[in-house]
Amino acid sequence: MQIRSYDEVDAHQVRDLWADAFGSAPSSERLAAARLMDVRVLEPFGLFAVEGGSVLGSVLPLRLELQLPAGVTMVGGIQGVATAPHVARRGVASALLEAAHERLRQDGLSLALLLTRRSWVAHGFYQRRGYHDVDELQVGTRSVAAASTERPAGAHLQQVGLEAQPTFFWLFRQQVAGGRGFVHRHKDHLSVLEQSGDLSPTELWLCTDAPDGSPIGYAIARRAPFGAMVRDVCALPGRLPLVLGAIESTFGGEALHVAPVCGPQLAPLQAVGFTLSSRSWSVLMACDLRTATTSAAALQAELGTDSGAFWLCSLDRF
């Protein structure tokens, strides 16, 4: 078995592997565009296990810019771990993960992060290879009937396209100011997600103050049978109730569902009637690439995930 980069393997086989593993895969053209725009990508792109001309598995090492207690820090990210079913339990994923770790070390990075779910087999796989749970992403739900009587008087929610990307970027920067974690989002991040298939332009909703049309927040949302499924919600200070009310008025239904919910969002959502739970089982895991003896508590302290100020929004998932 050999480890090769994306440009050295059959792109059609990679697309088939990802479609089987993740349910969908971007076209070669979209992937090429995303690679050019995504500042997190390490080149040569990706690591792929190949044997006899067949692609057996993949992993995509990334370089992530985070705000940690020690300051702005570059850490590694692990994405796109997949193995062809017929070579399961043959050590393909282990070999790829170790190759990704070595790639990150060569780039001078000392921590690796990844996102998974406790209910998945992969969670145990990562634990056995030195990863620890360092943060939990929750789910927030509010019944429309139980919502505050404060309606979005003067707030207007409208569907927009990627032309609103600069406004979304500005609103995000206002919301996360002074926070930790994934607060250094690139200005073209929405375009990267759209090219990679992780975002549909139909999910972009901008909330404005009706009297003067100034932006006060946004939602990454889609309609669901029960009401609105919100992947990300952002609001200027003091405007969250108005933004949420505008979402409810626009989408209707019985409930407003927000997921994932990170630390800084917990108290504000609870204050406006949301019930929070961890039923998604989504977790952020971390591995110390310097030593195998670092505890989960030590990693949480280094990352700042134990502070309640660590931002990790849906748009920043990798």
The answer, yes or no, to whether residue 202 has pLDDT greater than 60, is yes
The answer to whether residues 3 and 47 touch, using CB atoms and an 8 Å cutoff, is yes
Helix (H, G, I), strand (E, B) or coil at 150: coil
Distance, CA of 62 to CA of 268 (rounded, Å): 31
The answer, yes or no, to whether residue 258 has pLDDT greater than 60, is yes
The answer to whether residues 254 and 227 touch, using CB atoms and an 8 Å cutoff, is yes
Q: How confident is the model at residue 318 (pLDDT cuts 50, 70, 90)?
A: confident
Interval 57-115: pLDDT, tens = 999 999 999 999 999 999 999 999 999 999 989 999 999 999 999 999 999 999 999 99
The answer to whether residues 161 and 151 touch, using CB atoms and an 8 Å cutoff, is no
The answer to whether residues 15 and 25 touch, using CB atoms and an 8 Å cutoff, is yes
How high is the pLDDT of residue 317? 80
The answer, yes or no, to whether residue 217 has pLDDT greater than 70, is yes
How high is the pLDDT of residue 149? 44
Nearest to 98 by CA among 241, 314, 289, 239: 289
The answer, yes or no, to whether residue 147 has pLDDT greater than 80, is no
The answer, yes or no, to whether residue 303 has pLDDT greater than 50, is yes
For the ranges 194-203, 208-217, 274-283, the lowest mean pLDDT is seen at 274-283
Q: Which domains does the chain have, with CATH numbers?
A: 2-137+282-316 (3.40.630.30), 139-278 (3.40.630.30)
How high is the pLDDT of residue 151? 52
Instruction: Give the rounded percent of residues in the chain with a pLDDT score beyond 90.
Output: 86
Instruction: Name the pTM for this structure.
Output: 0.93
